[in-house]
Amino acid sequence: MRKFQLRTYRLRTEEAATAYLPHWVLHVKSLELFGVETHAFFSAPSARRNVVALISFGEQADPEVVTREYMQTDAFKQDMSGFDVAQIEGVDTLLLIPGDGSPLT
């Protein structure tokens, strides 16, 4: 079973969140190279400075290691071109395990 992760990116401003969200379109393809599937990414009307993504990793993958390795690649750097990463104040992650019968199992 894949390991799901909910990632919440906290940005400095609402404008930064709006500018960051389109970069997730690019991440979808580059993350696939690392076995990471993007299920969805969202703006958050009740938390306008946040961008939220639901992704999943292979059963044997260590999400922290995969993320660290991915962020060192040229593909990631290209995806982030034109965006000031200093606008990201932090990233909160939550590992999720689908319940029996969940559509994601």
Query: In this structure, is residue 47 part of a structural domain?
Result: yes
Query: In this structure, is residue 82 part of a structural domain?
Result: yes
CATH of the domain at 56: 3.30.70.100
Residues 6+ apart with CB under 8 A from 40: 53, 54
Query: Rounded to an integer, what distance in angstroms lies between the CA atom of residue 98 and that of residue 36?
Result: 16
Instruction: Read off the amino acid at residue 38.
Output: T
**Structural domain harbouring 90:** 3-96
Whether residue 40 contacts residue 24, with contact meaning beta carbons closer than 8 Å, is answered with no
Give the pLDDT of residue 15.
Answer: 98
**Domains identified in the chain, total number:** 1
**Strand 37-43 relative to strand 88-96, pairing:** unpaired
Q: What is the pLDDT of residues 45-54, one digit of tens each?
A: 999 999 999 9
Query: In this structure, is residue 34 part of a structural domain?
Result: yes
Query: In this structure, is residue 105 part of a structural domain?
Result: no
Low-confidence ranges of the chain (pLDDT < 50): none
Query: In this structure, is residue 21 part of a structural domain?
Result: yes
Give the pLDDT of residue 67.
Answer: 97
Query: In this structure, is residue 104 part of a structural domain?
Result: no
Give the pLDDT of residue 40.
Answer: 97
What stretches of the chain adopt beta strand conformation (E)? 3-11, 37-43, 50-57, 88-96
